[in-house]
Amino acid sequence: MTELLKLTEVSVYAGDVCLLEPISLTLAQGRPITILGQTGAGKSLLAQAVMGLLPDSLRVEGDIQIFGRAMTLAERQKLWGTELVMLPQEPWNALDPLMKASSQISDVYRYVHNKDRSEASTLAQKDLEYVGLADSGNKRPDELSGGMAQRLAIASVTAAGAPLILADEPTKGLDSTRRQDIVNLLQERSAQGSLLTITHDVAIARQLGGDILVIKSGRLIEQGEAEKVLNQPQHPYTQALINAELPPQSKTETSESDKDVLIDIRDLMIERGGKNLFPPVSFSVKQGEITWLIGESGRGKSSLGDALLGLVPTKSGTVTRVVPATQQATPQNSQSYRWLKLYQDPPSAFTDSVSLQVLLNDLVTLHNIDPSRIPPLMTKLGLKEALLTRNCNNVSGGELQRFAILRALLLNPVFLFADEPTSRLDPITAQEVMALLRYVAKETNCAILLVSHDVNVVGGNYDQVVVL
């Protein structure tokens, strides 16, 4: 078995701060390696170090050998395409926005393999059919969905025929059906050479097999055979990672509880760009309960939530807000600011021009909320006092989402639309946020509409499921 890649004590430093502690591994032909771990744990730094794509401010230590020969950065860069390739995280901005799909692939044949124009386009068309994009040759990246863009990226990067493929979070942000195709495609393409994959998705690691390395905040904590690591995880962190995974959910189950109905939806339809997003849907959202809304990406889940908040016009059907009998119809609870929303990408939901403390004070002065309610909520949500002095850019996604929940709680929410609140977070923090949503629904009797793909994150935390 020829050694394609051999890393000995490779580590990455920013100045004198160590971002990735020394790691050694050998990637042999036909035996893939998967690196598991939290987002931001420094995993992708390793791949970038091997490729020679690290930003100038970072420094690599240790020895990187490719095909048995230690190579400098420049030499490695010469191998790009023909010997060594990396699949980027975000497929959309890895493809030239102005170039048609077919020419993104035919370029490789024309300029790397020096084929003539017609031969290159036939080869490209063959590749497109192979990855199931036969008829979208003339489309531009912005006209493709996430899955299609990822498959195009894989096809174009492997067209040069490099044996050694590095894949950095190849399935990020894709729903489960799409992930399956991507993994199969990667396995085929790396059949002659070998594959080093970086992901936080345990299911992918299980399917790929080979060896697994688990990294926690920049340090290698476990290494070994795929089956051994997945079935008998030694390190508690690896165990937490694995059992966060649960079987997928598929059919609508309505809750029979006797809670009061908050919103009653009758054959609602929403139109976008001239076509109806989903067939007429009817369900009711009950107080203090979590309604889990699932469906393919792009089926209009977010639009539905926004419609309930009155942010998006509806095409047909009715949305009636039922004033709960238990609380008298005070003007206070029917006011719009008690119908709130949590966002998918936490930093984009805040302005970075001021500190979180200022944002909080604004809210307090606007609705003259009693400031003494804040400290207990802060401790409940696990938010440290020092956090408030910083602005939203230098605070982690998890903390920001919890801060958003704090702001919502201060307004005694009646209804909360959580639009994929955990998709950008790693499994552990996602679990915490999910638990907090559970708490919000139960303690404040607030109805929550949850949109999420992370089956294993949501787990059992729901009272009814609606499938679009």
**Which CB sits closer to another protein, 63 or 96?**
96
Q: How far apart are CA 270 and CA 315, in angstroms?
A: 5
Report if residue 88 touches another protein, rule: CB under 8 A: yes
Shortest distance in whole angstroms from residue 113 CB to another protein: 9
Number of residues that bind another protein (CB under 8 A): 60
Q: Find the binder of another protein among 191, 246, 366, 435 (CB under 8 A).
A: 366
Which of the stretches 77-85, 218-226, 276-284, 380-388 binds another protein when contact is defined by CB under 8 A?
Answer: 77-85
Q: Write out the DSSP string of 141-206.
A: GGGS-HHHHHHHHHHHHHTT--SEEEEESTTTT--HHHHHHHHHHHHHHTSSSEEEEEES-HHHHH
Neighbouring CB atoms inside 10 A of 62's CB total: 15
User: CA neighbours within 13 Å on the CB side: how many for 179?
Assistant: 20
Nearest to 15 by CA among 71, 61, 62, 65: 61
Q: How far out from the chain centre does Cα 362 lie?
A: 31
Q: Find the binder of another protein among 336, 368, 376, 460 (CB under 8 A).
A: 336
Dihedral sign (CA 84, 90, 95, 100): positive
Shortest distance in whole angstroms from residue 18 CB to another protein: 25
Q: How many residues does the chain have?
A: 468
Contact mark string toward another protein, 91..110, x via CB under 8 A: -xxxxxxxx-------xx--
Q: How far apart are CA 52 and CA 75, in angstroms?
A: 10
- How open is the CA angle 323-312-270, to the nearest 5 degrees? 100
Report if residue 143 touches another protein, rule: CB under 8 A: yes
Shortest distance in whole angstroms from residue 434 CB to another protein: 20
Burial class (CB in 10 A: 0-12, 13-18, 19+), 377: middle
Dihedral sign (CA 374, 343, 215, 67): negative
**Which CB sits closer to another protein, 151 or 218?**
151
**Which CB sits closer to another protein, 242 or 359?**
359
CA distances, 269 to each of 108, 319, 467 (Å): 45, 10, 14
**Which CB sits closer to another protein, 279 or 331?**
331
Contact mark string toward another protein, 147..186, x via CB under 8 A: ------x--xx-xx-x------------------------
Q: How far apart are CA 280 and CA 315, in angstroms?
A: 10
Which of the stretches 190-198, 261-269, 362-370, 429-437 binds another protein when contact is defined by CB under 8 A?
Answer: 362-370
Q: How far apart are CA 367 and CA 362, in angstroms?
A: 9
Q: How far apart are CA 65 and CA 405, in angstroms?
A: 48
Contact mark string toward another protein, 199..238, x via CB under 8 A: ----------------------------------------
**Which CB sits closer to another protein, 212 or 301?**
301
Shortest distance in whole angstroms from residue 111 CB to another protein: 5
Return the residues of window 13-72 that contact another protein according to CB under 8 A: 51, 53
Shortest distance in whole angstroms from residue 93 CB to another protein: 5
User: CA neighbours within 13 Å on the CB side: how many for 442?
Assistant: 9
Q: Find the binder of another protein among 235, 272, 315, 367 (CB under 8 A).
A: 367
Residues that bind another protein (CB under 8 A): 51, 53, 77, 80-82, 85-86, 88, 90, 92-99, 107-108, 111-112, 117, 140, 142-143, 153, 156-157, 159-160, 162, 309, 311, 335-337, 339-341, 343, 345, 348-355, 358-359, 362-363, 366-367, 391, 404, 407, 411
